[in-house]
Each structure stands twice: as C-alpha cells, then as structure tokens.
Amino acid sequence: MTVATTGCRIKVDMGRCSGLGLCEAEAPDHFEIGDDGQLTVLSFDVTDRDREEVEAAVRTCPTQAITIED
C-alpha cells in the first residue's frame, strides 16, 4: 500500500529546540527525543495520514522550532 504525501516537509530549527518532547507526544512517527535530550526527526515527509498529528506537533512546540513547508 502506498501512502500519498501532501508535498509538505517538516523543518526544525535545532537552535530553538529545547528537547521537551511535546512534538514526540503528538507525532511519534516523526519525532523522537533521545536519552541525551536531542531531537531526531524520524521522517521529514508529511503524509496525508500524518498531517493532522504533525500540525499538532507544530502547534504544541513551546519554542516554535518546528514548521511545515509546502
């Protein structure tokens, strides 16, 4: 099964990221906070299926480090 992408990609300003993990809670298929507190983006491409949870991660980021680019 192929999942269509929205043509959007996640962009993260790592200098602003505080590593709190709210993004991981909202979109665990896309974000992971390591034991060292560093964010890893697991997938930069946003699928139609994941769009809503990635948008929630963008909204909940307290440092506004995450954006979605078309």
The model carries a pTM of: 0.88
Digit-coded pLDDT (tens) for 6-48: 689 999 999 999 999 999 999 999 999 999 999 999 999 999 9
CATH number (domain holding residue 31): 3.30.70.20
What's the domain count of the chain?
1
Category of 19 on φ-ψ map: left (φ > 0), alpha (ψ -120 to 50) or beta: left
Range of the domain at 31: 5-69
